[in-house]
Structure 1
Amino acid sequence: MSENFNQLVNNVRQCTLCEDSLALGANPVIQISTNAKILIAGQAPGLKVHRSSIPFMDQSGDRLRAWLKVEQKTFYDPTLFAILPMGFCYPGRGKSGDLAPIGACAKQWREKLLAHLTQLELIIAIGSYAQNYHLGTRKKVNLTQTVKSWQSYTENTRLPILPLPHPSPRNNIWLKKNPWFEQDVLPYLQHKIKNIV
């Protein structure tokens, strides 16, 4: 690995690659350590996260921590949780919510950062953008089918990848329509997290 890890992270935090495409400017928000055991691969920071520069410091984060059954102190320990969204900066708002993450982050930085995460025991792929990247051709036709097939990505594999829906309050209807998620997937997730942390 040619790039020193600390320098790489510093370069990411100072990245302005997409500055012209971001209504509120660049503010890359990540959490990472070479000792991280769990990777949370999300979509992109929301407006509150953009303002605080703390990943998942919003309602989505509250729900995600409840799903994981971890306190904030544990969640924000970079030696346990690396948090690398598919886009590191807030992409702005569209007609029906936040815009899609800008793909330049993944192209420029993701593989370089992931190469340093050699201690991972679990990848949590939140939402379709992260699932597209981490599952590739193994993902199903849509998010629901991908999440429903979670066991095929977690069993008999060295590094389990657990696909989740986004924990945003916007997904309350999805959660009500898919009670199997809380009944089947969350117990596995919580058991796995407890064993790792």
Structure 2
Amino acid sequence: MKHLLKTIRNCEVCSKRLPLGPRPIIEASEASQIVIISQAPGRIVHESGVAWKDQSGKRLREWLGVDDKTFYNTTNFAILPMGFCYPGKGKTGDLPPQKECAPLWHDAVLSELNNVRLTLLIGSYATNYYLPKDGSNLTNRVSNFKEYLPKYWPLPHPSPVNRFWRSKNPWFEESVVPQLQKKIKELL
């Protein structure tokens, strides 16, 4: 696993298209129990080099009901974005993750994880990649999360940009988040 993570962190496959250059963000250990598959690191994470060390990460840790120490312990959580590097800024948020990363690296990383008990799929890029191509949108998948258990748990992205989704879907934080917190507590 250490060699694989080092190889990924040195990846430059799409470096010419990245506005700030490559800085692959990934965290995992063979013992990781929960895998977080998300979109791609934002600019703040790119600059710090620490996954989810921004406002999105703060909200995600609140949803999970864990503190920083628990979250950043790779025995608890593996962090595996769809795109490992910051893709740049778009009109209404960051650009989509680079398409090469998931097909190039995900299977290799997931095959090294021997203790996974749950995979959190955060946002439409992760859910569209890992869940059946059944025409469901992210809202339907999140509201019907039990259909994907015990392997996957689809979630919206916790980005401040996504506040409109959360305001239109108050059931998520009222009903789903407490169930998610209970599950995370059981697993850890």
TM-score with structure 1 length normalisation?
0.92
2:153 match: 162
**Which of the numbers 171, 174, 194 marks the counterpart of 2:185?**
194
2:170 is the counterpart of 1:174 = no
1:145 match: 140
Runs of 4+ displaced beyond 6 Å: none
Structure 2: unaligned runs, 5 residues or longer: none
Pairing 1:19-30 to 2, within 5 Å after superposition: 19-30=15-26
Aligned length: 188
Q: CA deviation at 1:23?
A: 0.7
3-state SS of 2:50 partner: coil
2:42 is the counterpart of 1:46 = yes
Q: CA deviation at 1:183?
A: 2.0
Q: CA deviation at 1:47?
A: 0.2
Structure 2 residue identity aligned to 1:180: W
Pairing 1:127-142 to 2, within 5 Å after superposition: 127-137=123-133, 140-142=135-137
Q: Distance in 1 between matches of 2:71 and 2:44?
A: 18
3-state SS of 1:83 partner: strand
Q: Distance in 2 between matches of 1:100 and 1:122?
A: 25
Structure 1: unaligned runs, 5 residues or longer: none
3-state SS of 1:39 partner: strand
* RMSD over aligned Cα atoms: 1.0
Q: Deviations over 1:108-146 (max 9, x none)?
A: 1111011111211111100001101221325x4311111
Contact between 2:5 and 2:26, CA under 8 Å: does it hold in 1? no
1:115 match: 111
Q: Distance in 2 between matches of 1:151 and 1:49?
A: 31
TM-score with structure 2 length normalisation?
0.97
Structure 2 residue identity aligned to 1:143: L
